[in-house]
Structure formats: structure tokens, C-alpha cells
Amino acid sequence: MTVIDIPADSLFGIDNLPYGVFSTENSPRRVGVRVADKVVDLAVALGDDVFAEPTLNPFMAQGKSRWDDVRARITTLVQGEIDDAAVLDVDAVAMHLPFDVADYVDFYASEHHATNLGKLFRPDSAPLMPNWKHLPVGYHGRSSTVVVSGTDIVRPCGQRKLAGDDAPTFGPSVRLDIEAEMGFVVGVPSTLGEPIAPDEFADHVFGAVIVNDWSARDIQAWEYVPLGPFLGKSFATSVSPWVVPLAALEAARVDTPTQDPQPLPYLRGEQKWGLDIDLAVEWNGDVVSRPPYAQMYWSPAQMLAHTTINGAASSTGDLFASGTISGTEKNTRGAFIELTWGGAEPATVAGEERTFLQDGDEVSISATAPAANGGRIGFGEVRARILPATQADR
């Protein structure tokens, strides 16, 4: 039998207990829970076949009372003796996409990011559109290209019209960027025609991951009017492998910033779903930004309420991301287009000058939040490396 050593300052202590999908050379994909530097194989430890599935979806669909029950059992389990066969070193397993992504939607919930992008993309008009403080603006992304941390990102090619060009050209993106975001995963689906109210958020949403919404700014700038982002975003979206359950975020819940004007009634709730999550963006090993989730204008509960208010159903495995997280200060901006002000103010990264991503660059976004015991919990990281374009000759 094994007793897991859980240091008091571990970001993966008993207040966290995130779920992921792992495999080893000898075993196929299955569900595990992260504790300190170990992964506990839940199919073995709990003897429950739902954890022998290759995704979290079947467990997520079982609902909140089941999630609470399993979390209580795991909390007891990991503080006692565990079957040796159920405990693996985190370095000895491969992590996979933790859930089958149903629909993927991305929002635009940071006032500071929306204001900065408005100034950069539309310098001659008001930075915030008239709708922005009345509804959480979003667009439908591409669920089939959501990939797990560690997956290389091939530089996309596409059509773009660069400053000074008379006509569009085709080629590798020259303004490849990141967007540091948090993503929320739906466990319990909703029925067509029955909207989810903001205060029903925790009955539907299972947990949260870190998201990097890779963005080709040159492709995006040329294509986005009037229907929004398309190929400039859909080539890849990366997520962290550990899904932190909402139950682990109780100590992180805060009010959103004051919403003025007051939103319409369907976007109002009694519960606080602002989240005090601190992110860090590392570019080739240098931390270049620390975006604060607590400053996000719209809460994820409002995002889900808005997504379903027209009667649209939501499904197990739906992923909705917050939009780029940017604070008021330059060193809290969650995208390089903001950090370098459209490329006009290059950053020094690991001793080299950078505006947008170069081939071979590596980006890691990590996040932590307050834990119930006064310490902190971690989301781990979403990391990826940029590979050269492969489709340039078209």
C-alpha cells in the first residue's frame, strides 16, 4: 500500500483534486486525479467503471450530487493507504485531452482587452462597441481543433492583407499570437428551449481549465468584418490537461467589477461567480505577463446564461472560454498584440526582441487560485511550441 506525501504548500493538495485523462505504456486512457506529484488511477482506487472511460464526459454527465460524493470519497482516499497499483508518478504518465469537446464558444469578457483590441483594430472609432456592456460578446469556435497542452502548433497559412498591400496575399501568418484565457466545461446538459439561469451555473458546469486561444492576427484582421473570427482562430486552441472542479474554487469566488449599466434581468444572479485566479504567461522561459482573472467584467455564469437564453441547448463537454484576460497594467495583458501594442513596442524575451511568435518559440500559461485552507491551488499549465508552416506553397 502507498501513502501519498502531500506537502502543505503543494498546488495539488486535498483542496484541489483536479481530474484528467492519462495513459501509460501498459494501460489505455483512463481518468485519474492529481494529488501532489502523483496521479491516482480512479478506476482501480474506487472500483468504478466510469473512470475506466477514455474521457471525463460520462462522469461529468452524472451531475452535481455524484461529483460531490466522489470528491468526498477521493478526499478520504488520498489521505489514507492506497493500493500501489492505483498510484503513479505524474512524470510517468502521458496526459490527454480530458474531455470530448462538444461545442466550443469563446467570449470577450475583459473590458481592458476589448478596449485595447478596439483601439488597435479600429483606431478611428470608439474602442467598445455599443453592445459590449449589455451582453457577453462571443463567437463559435472549432471544437475539433481543441488540443491538449504539449501538442505542437503548426503556424497557420491563410489570406491576409498587410498594411501597405494593395491586394491580399496567401502565406504563413506573420502575426501569430496567444490569448491567455480560462475555459469552463459543461457536465450536465440542458434541454432545447430551457435557458440556464446564472444561479444554476454550478448545477451544470463541472470545472475549469486554462485555455490558449492561438490567434493569427493578420488573417483575423482581414477576415473578421462583418461576421467575426474564423480561420484566424480555428487552426488550434490549447487546453491544460487537469480540470479543476468548481468545488475546488469556492475560496476563489469574488464579485465581478461593478456592471454599469445594470444588465438585463436574465443576466442577473444572486451568486458570486467572479473568480480570483492569477495567471502567468511564460514566453521562451520568461514570465512576460500576469493576467488577473478577478478583473473580468462578465462572469462565466453570465456567459452560460447568455449562451442558452435563446433556447439553445448545452451539451456535456461544451467548452466556453472567457476571452483574453487583461488587467489595467501593461504587464498584465494576456495577448502579445496588446503587450507589444500591435508590434510597435517589441518585448525583450529571453534576451531576444519579439513582437509576435517565431518558429520554435514556446509558450506556457499557468494559473493558481486561493484554496480553502489559506494556501493555493494550481491549474497546472498549458504549454506548446510553434512549428514552421507546412502549407505555404498554395
What positions carry a catalytic annotation? 113
The residue to which cell 492506497 is assigned? 82
The residue among 12 and 297 lying less far from Mn ion, judged by its C-beta, is 297
Distance of closest approach, residue 68 Cβ to Mn ion, in angstroms: 31
Instruction: Say how many residues touch Mn ion, by CB under 5 A.
Output: 3
Q: Does 177 bind Mn ion (CB under 5 A)?
A: no
Interacting stretch for Mn ion, rule CB under 5 A, among 93-101, 148-156, 213-221, 246-254?
213-221
Residue (41 or 213) nearer to Mn ion, CB = 213
- Stretch binding Mn ion (CB under 5 A), from 80-88, 103-111, 187-195, 270-278: 103-111
Question: Longest Cα pair distance anywhere in the chain, in angstroms?
Answer: 70
DSSP state letter for 174: S
Q: How many CB atoms lie within 10 A of CB 64?
A: 16
Q: Least distance in Å: CB of 306 to Mn ion?
A: 16
Task: For residue 203, give the 3-state DSSP assignment.
Answer: helix
Considering only 32, 40, 82, 106, the residue that binds Mn ion (CB under 5 A) is 106
Q: Minimal distance in Å, beta carbon 324 to Mn ion? A: 5
- Determine if the peptide bond prior to 172 is cis (ω within 30°): no
- Compute, in degrees rounded to 10, the torsion defined by CA atoms 279, 285, 287, 293: -10
Contact stretch for Mn ion (CB under 5 A) within 39-47, 51-59, 104-112, 255-263: 104-112
Q: Residue 28, preceding bond cis, omega within 30 degrees?
A: no
Considering only CA atoms, which of 39, 46, 84 is closest in space to residue 241? 39
CB 107 within 8 Å of CB 137: yes
Please identify the residue of the shown chain whose CB is closest to the bound Mn ion. 213
- Of 179 and 338, nearer to Mn ion (C-beta) is 179
Q: Which stretch binds Mn ion (CB under 5 A): 51-59, 72-80, 91-99, 173-181?
A: 173-181
Which residue in 355, 360, 357, 253 sits closest to 299, CA to CA? Answer: 253
Q: Which is nearer to Mn ion, 113 or 204 (CB)?
A: 113
Indicate which single residue of 177, 200, 213, 338 sits in contact with Mn ion (rule: CB under 5 A).
213
Q: How far apart are CA 259 and CA 113, in angstroms?
A: 16
- CB nearer to Mn ion: give 106 or 338: 106
Q: Nearer to Mn ion by C-beta: 23 or 115?
A: 115
Smallest gap from residue 137 Cβ to Mn ion (A):
11
Instruction: Based on the shown chain and the rule CB under 5 A, indicate whether residue 200 belongs to the binding site for Mn ion.
Output: no
Using DSSP's 3-state secondary structure scheme, residue 199 falls into helix
Of the candidates 370, 309, 334, 303, the one whose C-alpha atom is nearest the C-alpha of residue 112 is 334
β-pair type (362-370, 278-283) = antiparallel
Q: How near is the Cβ of 295 to Mn ion at its closest, in Å?
A: 16
Question: What cell numbers appear for 33 in the block?
Answer: 486525479
- What are residue 19's phi and psi, to 5 degrees? -100, 145
Q: Residue 113 Cβ, how far from Mn ion at the closest point, in Å?
A: 9
Out of 15, 41, 177, 179, name the contact with Mn ion by CB under 5 A: 179
**189 backbone φψ class: left, alpha, beta (φ>0; ψ -120 to 50):** beta
Residue 338 binds Mn ion (CB under 5 A): no
Binding site for Mn ion (CB under 5 A): 106, 179, 213
